Structure 1
């Protein structure tokens, strides 16, 4: 059975999209997702995205990381599938309903209202999530935010100097985070600009993370470090993050279709 796919990316955070809204595909297991995502023997991607019909939305989006684990939300993927859909859309995700509005070169996504209670991150035990009394090898007192998926944010003098490739997996798998965690290291450049690198849960170092940009911006705003509208510069490019007075986060940025193809399902099953 040959299955069509669409390769897309948002600022270099890349996806293989399987569109099952009109024609069903076989069940995607964690093993199959990891095999498709493998950059040497599969198609290669940070996330596998599956679009399906939905009753209470325009369509449903499922997201599986490169390790095969299913996650709740992905901001860059939401912009990408919004561009693919080509019109305003309400998208059902494991994190709830997201509203996306495509533009000329990208999309704006209503990412919803962030959560800050320790049990909503979740953490293993109660603590202040604005300045957590914990640290790992020089990274200390992070903030924690859930923006559909869980993030921990460290503010540092130079995020490029942090050995995130080694510290990222250690923090991701720390027992403090029962569902694991996305790890963000950020440098505030001025009141309207943040520089950010992200170790993404289940995917590793990434060129861009939309939910990470949202979480980092909101954490900086809560600490009074930046205004309520900021640019977040990631290795792959810039996202605009606005946190409205209604507490909802708007994320705006580009998304691109790279190419289309087909693959033999049995090669990965």
Structure 2
């Protein structure tokens, strides 16, 4: 009897955002060249209860499978990245996933600089000398409705429908949550808790969140309706952010790295494609920083984000691409069945998120002056041209 075919994998996580990594060569050799097979593979092995056992001390399953190809005959080495999510969908970009890609490529080549090819455009990545701190270019955040995308004509709220269809969706109540929409490679809706301005930036019918800690919020309850809101034709990832208020010398955990200069936000993210909360989201961290700048909450280019899985540093300059920096950890290696046994009904019933693909303005941003559709400086006050 023929043994089931298996495929080697490595498992990494970037601040808790964990991924199974499969080399394209191994995937093709193991019968995973077709997307339908990769979709089934991801649905089976990413499951948090029955999926791949961690080769280290991490959790069972994963936030996605990265299929990676490497071309080291060019300088810098080029890596192709394809992410299949737990619901069987693909994503145009994943910030922590791209950082994992760079760490994997360094393990393969010993090099420190790479170009990562994603559906959202090329991304340059640099791995520090320690081999685990990775910085990735994230493109230029887009607020214009076409770039997110946002379609006000589909909104349930007449006030949102009747607003200027070409205006960015900023600090607007959607399904009870006051959000701003931005594309940082994939669509995001960002809401800030206990904001000091005019009664805050979180509006829920039956909940007063003026003094609520971000960890006490039922994220699924407040985020899922926004994730599926009609105003977002391709869905949206939903982020809650809460400013860290340091009191130097008070002995609190948040005082450990206080420098008084870098604005810091705690972060929680409900991810489209995972259809639940993840321990970290790189594109979400960039979205929080970009919206914080655009809405005047911060004027610094550098912002820190603290999702449950660690800390990320984001730079959103007035011109050029945003960057995302943080650690990556390899959990270990193993083998998985390339054709896992999955209930066909489960695969058929999976409701994958829509993959937006690459869009102008969320490309690498290496030379934004040549991209007429690129977004503006994120803290621009010019509303006559929302792009």
TM class by shorter-chain length? over 0.9
The CA distance in 1 between the partners of 2:25 and 2:122, in whole Å, is 17
On the 8 A contact 1:3/1:265 being kept in 2, the answer is yes
Whether 1:195 and 2:296 are equivalent positions in the alignment is: no
Q: 1:106-134 CA deviation, whole Å, 9 max, x = no partner?
A: 20001111111011111123264352432
Question: For 2:286, what is the secondary structure of its paired residue?
Answer: helix
Structure 1 segment 227-242 matched on structure 2, within 5 A: 227-242=300-315
The CA distance in 1 between the partners of 2:105 and 2:26, in whole Å, is 13
On the 8 A contact 1:106/1:253 being kept in 2, the answer is yes
* Greater Cα shift, 84-93 or 26-35: 26-35
**Cα RMSD over matched residues?**
2.0
Question: For 2:28, what is the secondary structure of its paired residue?
Answer: coil
Taking structure 1 as the reference length, the TM-score comes to 0.92
Structure 2 partner of 1:162: 217
Structure 1 partner of 2:66: 49
Displacement after TM superposition at 1:135 (Å): 2.9
On the 8 A contact 1:5/1:262 being kept in 2, the answer is yes
Question: For 1:165, what is the secondary structure of its paired residue?
Answer: helix
Whether 1:113 and 2:133 are equivalent positions in the alignment is: no
Structure 1 partner of 2:188: 151
Structure 2 partner of 1:74: 94
Structure 2 partner of 1:34: 43
The CA distance in 1 between the partners of 2:222 and 2:336, in whole Å, is 36
On the 8 A contact 2:66/2:84 being kept in 1, the answer is yes
Question: For 2:292, what is the secondary structure of its paired residue?
Answer: helix
Structure 2 partner of 1:181: 236
Displacement after TM superposition at 1:53 (Å): 4.9
Question: For 1:202, what is the secondary structure of its paired residue?
Answer: coil
Structure 2 partner of 1:13: 17
Structure 2 partner of 1:211: 283
Taking structure 2 as the reference length, the TM-score comes to 0.65
Whether 1:220 and 2:292 are equivalent positions in the alignment is: yes
On the 8 A contact 1:114/1:147 being kept in 2, the answer is yes
Question: For 1:246, what is the secondary structure of its paired residue?
Answer: coil
Q: Which structure 2 residue ranges, 5 or more long, are not aligned? A: 53-60, 107-111, 153-164, 195-212, 246-261, 343-387
How many residues end up aligned between the 2 structures?
267
The CA distance in 1 between the partners of 2:170 and 2:317, in whole Å, is 23
* Greater Cα shift, 213-222 or 160-169: 160-169
Higher strand share: 1
Whether 1:136 and 2:175 are equivalent positions in the alignment is: yes
Question: For 1:110, what is the secondary structure of its paired residue?
Answer: strand
